[in-house]
Structure 1
């Protein structure tokens, strides 16, 4: 449900949504064309030996990370009101590891603000229950400590997320939950087809695409989620406003204005910044001044090798009742 500060705020947002840009959704259509067109063009350039694979790799990485941001926009109902059509546009697994359907379902579950950050309830939580933490071996604790630091998160974040998704799928199958079997079969076939075409037709080794493209793309995506939520008593104070620069805002499609997105989840990406600037001080107060003025550069300076906060969730309810292994964790 959309949340507004007052009637004037609701009217201002409605006026933006009634404009030509929002009605036609042309920025999102352009985004979709840029992502798939750019990726396809890069594949063709490599196949025709116009661009060396080493030179194409950073382009692939950026486009795959951008594709994940695009999928986030699609699952929130843009550019069309037809979920099946948005799913078709977001389905191609350019970044390989996470099926669109699973991402959609877990992320929409994440939008229950009252459960934000609670392990086992929030599928995107960066915290662990205290009792479970005590039972873990030292190596596993070290991985979670690393996950709270900018640089080491980029290294351990992708394998931890992928392992959590696989483990959750296995537990569901073991417990007799077969809802997602068709999804995994379809995703597996799509991944195999994509890697086969890249390897045999374009001359891009399948293993190279997995290790040198999709893994770094996931690493890049983990930057946004490093400190976009914190443990706080008030749900809205758990959600960050990150005043990122132009490049990172475009890469993450303005999802750095994360409180605005949680308050108005149906608002398209290209309006998030404008709505934030309309009521900038109100949003700062609402999130308890959880505002990062210097963007992701500030995060890097402050938390390159230092933890953003504790790994164990401070709320007793979270520590006592929920199991972090119960949910797949996708770096969204």
Structure 2
């Protein structure tokens, strides 16, 4: 009976997606094209006219546009708004968020989508879990930092710093070991970032302020989305959360709060995820074993100062 229901669900999903894909929005990818215009236009206009807006309003707007840009980069990786990978990459290569070359993020994220390896340390490059061996090698202060990062407060304040340190360490290793492809990505990233910083200086906006007061908080916002986004579970379908977040977060994260749906159907565009989820709500909640929360406020209340147990992966050796 379970198999019949699963087959029925997938057939129902396919029919529903075909109907959505036949519509004008999906065929034209208009929502994503408009999103690209809004993000680039908003980011550059805010910087160009920051003195008219005032420093605080401009900073808050830039935090939003920068975090939104990171959500857009994720959408570009998954084949939107075009099926031409180099063109999508062109839309996501400018380092508006400072820290990560688009190409490295793309390669890492696509590896993260290997269904059976989700959350498994080493195999899943975006896993927050450790193997027993790697956990045992950590110093006491490092373990304390990981436990602090696993609180909601720590995810906002500390997790971006740990990610930045890891990323810069990876960049140094790429140059040390002459990994030419990664080196090329970092060199291009650095050249473009230097050009953006030069333009900021020209319009009187401090690059240091941008890094500390815009880019870091924007990265912290993305950590709200990824807080307990995945958990270790025997069934791969139970590893990704469904977060029934409010409109603010859905818009900022481009509906990736419906993360179980995204991992099930990674090719569905951001504006289709909610419709697919609502069409199959009860079935998705059964399939992911009730890994459902009613919004990010639930994580904040439960884990503001209490750490989630995301340390040693239960299936690791």
**TM-score range for the pair, normalised by the shorter chain length:** over 0.9
**1:312-331 to 2 correspondences below 5 Å:** 312-315=312-315, 318=316, 320=317
1:309 aligns to what? Answer: 309
User: Contact 1:242–1:257 at 8 Å: present in 2 too?
Assistant: yes
Aligned equivalent of 2:127, options 113, 125, 133: 125
> Which residue number in structure 1 is paired with residue 170 of structure 2?
168
Q: State the TM-score, normalized to the length of structure 2.
A: 0.95
Distance 1:110 1:96 in 2: 22
Aligned to 1:298: 298
Give the conservation status (yes or no) of the 8 Å contact 1:65–1:217.
yes
Equivalent pairs counted in the alignment come to 311
Contact 2:59 2:214 in 1 (8 A): yes
**Matched residue, 1:71:** 73
Asked if structure 2 preserves the Cα contact closer than 8 Å seen for 1:57 and 1:212, the reply is yes
| 1:106-127 C-alpha deviation (Å, 9 max, x unpaired) | 0001000111111111111011
Structure 2 unmatched runs, 5+:
1-6
State the shift of 1:55 in Å: 2.1
2:136 to 131, 134, 137: 134
Match of 2:196 in 1: 194
Given the superposition, is the C-alpha separation of residues 209 and 110 from structure 1 closer, same or farther in structure 2, using an over 3 Å criterion?
Answer: same
- Bigger mean CA deviation after superposition, 53-62 or 306-315: 306-315
Partner Cα distance (2:306, 2:83) in 1: 43
Q: CA deviation at 1:91?
A: 1.1
**Secondary structure at the residue paired with 1:5?**
helix
**Displacement of 1:160:** 0.9
Deviation of 1:4 after TM superposition, in Å, equals 8.1
Please tell me whether the aligned partners of residues 67 and 252 of structure 2 are also in contact (alpha carbons under 8 angstroms): yes
2:89 paired with 1:82: no
Superposed CA RMSD in Å reads 1.4
Deviation of the 1:176 alpha carbon = 4.2
Alpha-carbon distance in 2 for matches of 1:308, 1:65: 24
Give distance in 1, aligned partners of 2:110 and 2:11. 27
Q: Which residue of structure 1 aligns with residue 3 of structure 2?
A: none
Q: Which residue of 1 aligns with 2:13?
A: 9
Give CA deviations for 1:228-261 in whole Å, capped at 9, x if unaligned.
Answer: 1001111111111100001100000000100111
Q: CA deviation at 1:45?
A: 1.4
**Aligned ranges 1:1-332 → 2 under 5 Å:** 5-46=9-50, 49-199=51-201, 201-292=202-293, 294-315=294-315, 318=316, 320=317
- Take 1:175 and 1:40, find their aligned partners in 2: how far apart are those partners? 37
SS at 1:133's partner residue?
Answer: helix
Name the structure, 1 or 2, with higher relative contact order (CA <8 Å, separation 6+): 1
Q: Distance in 2 between matches of 1:6 and 1:171?
A: 44
TM-score of the superposed pair, with normalisation by structure 1: 0.91
CA gap 1:247/1:159 in 2 versus in 1, 3 angstroms: same
Measured against aligned partners, the alpha-carbon deviations of 1:156-184 in whole angstroms (never above 9, x if no partner) come to: 11111111122223334444432211111
**Structure 1: distance between partners of 2:141 and 2:212:** 23
Instruction: Check conservation: 1:79, 1:86, Cα contact below 8 A.
Output: yes
